[in-house]
Chains A and B, each alone.
Chain A
Amino acid sequence: MTFKDLNIISMKDFSRDTIDHILNTAEKLEPVARGLEKSDLLDGKVLSLLFFEPSTRTRMSFETAMIRLGGRVLNLGSVEASSIAKGESLADTIRVVEGYSDAIVLRHPKEGSAQMASELVSVPIINAGDGAGHHPTQTFLDLYTIRQESHLDGVKIAIAGDLKYGRTVHSLCYALSLYGAEITLVSPKELRLPDEIIYDLKKRNIKVTQTDSIEEAIRNIEVLYVTRIQKERFPDPAEYNKVASNLLITPQLLEKADPKLKIMHPLPRINEIDPRVDDTDHACYFNQSFYGVPVRMALLALVMGVLE
């Protein structure tokens, strides 16, 4: 498989071998991501960032990934200040920006926007979130984190929080199924993983268990992936408080866990994880957000054709 000009739209486009290759490439670039080594791999290359929705981590990690590899970044800037505000279509914007860039990172509120963009231009499109659709670079960095901090093959992982609406969770479950993971899903009934996805996982012979008790799940896992529960999903604030406190990760809870257990969170966290957990060896959410840099460096270098 050649990566040059490949679009990164959905995890479903990637086989395990391809994912492994991307993660291996990220590992080689990690010293550069940490600023320990210098690189000019992407010297002379230009990456455009088109974010039609707010982002801190994804946008900044793409920027730093590009800069660390010696490339330059163009930013759309705020939507209000651009011609989008004048009613320019995404289709036109993307074709204009193609002329300025070697690759385009796109975040847009509509599902399928990245797919449409990829049909219109010949530079690679990297999907940084299309509405409730996909966010594949997040999944790549999640997989990389699991691999570096624990192990990926057959990992025993619990995923807790909003499993219904969280787009990162759906792609992550799919990707984990390629690695024969044992998955425990922890959520209140209202926020369970959609049935189709569970059905899909079981069809791939993945062991999936559902529970609403984090205490039950914590005993026998190697990785705990916590996601944010959005207050807006609950009409009744009391209901939200009850659900949120049931899933709260505290030092007391962690006494029952394997000492090697790693806790991940895509961030931003609101109050899913007690700050006292940050100082334990379990916490790896800040490493996780750093790993976004080598992973995005790898993707950029591969799709721009400077690495094979």
Chain B
Amino acid sequence: MTPNKSPTQKRELRVRPIENGTVIDHIKAGQSLNVLRILGIPDSSEDVVSVVINASGEHGKKDVVKIENRELNVREVDKITLIAPNAVINIIRHFDVFEKKHVVIPQNIEGVVRCINPNCISNSSEPVTSKFTVTSAKGKIVLQCKYCERVITENIADRLL
């Protein structure tokens, strides 16, 4: 990460700078709408949100989501990690980047994703929370159900609970 602003980033900032809030940067291109869905935007929020789709980043295209007056909780960050494992979460205070956190892929997730196997006990009426182990291979997230051992690699965003 270079401290110098590249021209693209300057252009991004043409979106009104935010005073306080969160910038989720380096989202895998195309995933920003899923990030909004995870954050319950706009249904559960009054805050102003701006989205940049297909910005050029250092490693190809990326999306950026900027939310005013909101900091994310751990569960939200876990979900974002699954669909955008390279995301960087910037907390903005008084117009400056106050804290910058690279998301960390959790080893296990509970109650975050629904298993793809319709016959899995975690998809039944039994009182059981879905559990997956998380690994990543070549930047791709691989989830394995702790109950039926089925593996999920595609369209994780559609399986979020």
Q: Report the count of interface residues on B (CB-CB < 8 A).
A: 16
CB distance A116 to B119 under 8 Å?
Answer: no
Q: Does residue B149 face the partner (Cβ distance < 8 Å to A)?
A: yes
Q: Does residue B120 face the partner (Cβ distance < 8 Å to A)?
A: yes
Q: Report the count of interface residues on A (CB-CB < 8 A).
A: 17
Q: Does residue B146 face the partner (Cβ distance < 8 Å to A)?
A: yes
Q: How far apart are A118's CB and chain B's nearest CB, in angstroms?
A: 11
Point out the residues of chain A lying under 8 angstroms from B145, CB to CB.
112
CB distance B117 to A116 under 8 Å?
Answer: no
CB distance A115 to B121 under 8 Å?
Answer: yes
Q: Does residue B148 face the partner (Cβ distance < 8 Å to A)?
A: yes
Q: How far apart are B17's CB and chain A's nearest CB, in angstroms?
A: 49
CB distance A110 to B121 under 8 Å?
Answer: yes
Which candidate, B7-15, B65-73, B124-132, is the interface stretch facing chain A? Answer: B124-132
Q: Does residue A113 face the partner (Cβ distance < 8 Å to B)?
A: yes
Q: Does residue B147 face the partner (Cβ distance < 8 Å to A)?
A: yes
Q: How far apart are B113's CB and chain A's nearest CB, in angstroms?
A: 14
Contact partner, B147, options A90, A91, A115, Cβ 8 Å: A115
Q: Most chain-B Cβ atoms within 10 A of its Cβ — which of A112, A119, A132? A: A112
CB distance A109 to B147 under 8 Å?
Answer: no
Q: What are 10 A-to-B residue pairs whose CB atoms are below 8 Å?
A: A89-B127, A109-B119, A110-B121, A110-B126, A111-B119, A111-B120, A112-B146, A116-B128, A130-B121, A130-B148
Point out the residues of chain A lying under 8 angstroms from B146, CB to CB.
112, 115
CB distance B119 to A89 under 8 Å?
Answer: no
CB distance B121 to A113 under 8 Å?
Answer: yes
Q: A111-B150, A112-B122, A112-B148 are in contact. List 15 more A-B contacts (CB 8 A).
A: A89-B125, A90-B121, A108-B121, A110-B119, A110-B124, A110-B126, A111-B117, A111-B120, A112-B121, A112-B147, A116-B128, A119-B128, A131-B119, A132-B119, A133-B148
B residues adjacent to A (C-beta < 8 A) = 117, 119-122, 124-128, 145-150
Q: How far apart are B138's CB and chain A's nearest CB, in angstroms?
A: 16
Q: How far apart are B116's CB and chain A's nearest CB, in angstroms?
A: 12
The chain A residue with its CB closest to the CB of B117 is: A111
Q: Given the known inter-chain contacts A115-B146, A133-B148, please indicate yes or no for A90 contacting B126, CB distance below 8 A.
A: yes
Instruction: Give the CA-CA distance A132 to B117 in the complex, in Å.
Output: 11
The chain B residue with its CB closest to the CB of A131 is: B119
Point out the residues of chain B lying under 8 angstroms from A113, CB to CB.
121, 126, 147
Q: How far apart are A107's CB and chain B's nearest CB, in angstroms?
A: 13
Which residues from 104 to 158 on chain A have a C-beta closer than 8 Å to any C-beta of chain B?
108-113, 115-116, 119, 130-133
Instruction: Give the CA-CA distance A113 to B128 in the complex, in Å.
Output: 10
- 3 closest A-B pairs by beta carbon, nearest first, are A112-B147, A111-B148, A112-B121
Q: Most chain-A Cβ atoms within 10 A of its Cβ — which of B117, B121, B145, B150? A: B121
Q: Given the known inter-chain contacts A116-B121, A132-B119, please indicate yes or no for A111 contacting B128, CB distance below 8 A.
A: no
The chain B residue with its CB closest to the CB of A10 is: B149
The chain B residue with its CB closest to the CB of A12 is: B149
Point out the residues of chain A lying under 8 angstroms from B117, CB to CB.
111
CB distance A89 to B126 under 8 Å?
Answer: yes
Instruction: Give the CA-CA distance A112 to B145 in the complex, in Å.
Output: 9
Point out the residues of chain B lying under 8 angstroms from A108, CB to CB.
121
Instruction: Give the CA-CA distance A116 to B149 in the complex, in Å.
Output: 13
Point out the residues of chain A lying under 8 angstroms from B119, CB to CB.
109-111, 131-132
Point out the residues of chain A lying under 8 angstroms from B148, CB to CB.
111-112, 130-131, 133
Q: How far apart are A150's CB and chain B's nearest CB, in angstroms?
A: 30
Point out the residues of chain A lying under 8 angstroms from B127, CB to CB.
89, 91
The chain B residue with its CB closest to the CB of A87 is: B125
Point out the residues of chain A lying under 8 angstroms from B122, CB to CB.
112, 116
Point out the residues of chain B lying under 8 angstroms from A116, CB to CB.
121-122, 126, 128, 147
Q: How far apart are B28's CB and chain A's nearest CB, in angstroms?
A: 25
Point out the residues of chain A lying under 8 angstroms from B149, CB to CB.
10, 111-112, 133
CB distance A111 to B121 under 8 Å?
Answer: yes
Q: How far apart are B122's CB and chain A's nearest CB, in angstroms?
A: 6
The chain B residue with its CB closest to the CB of A94 is: B126
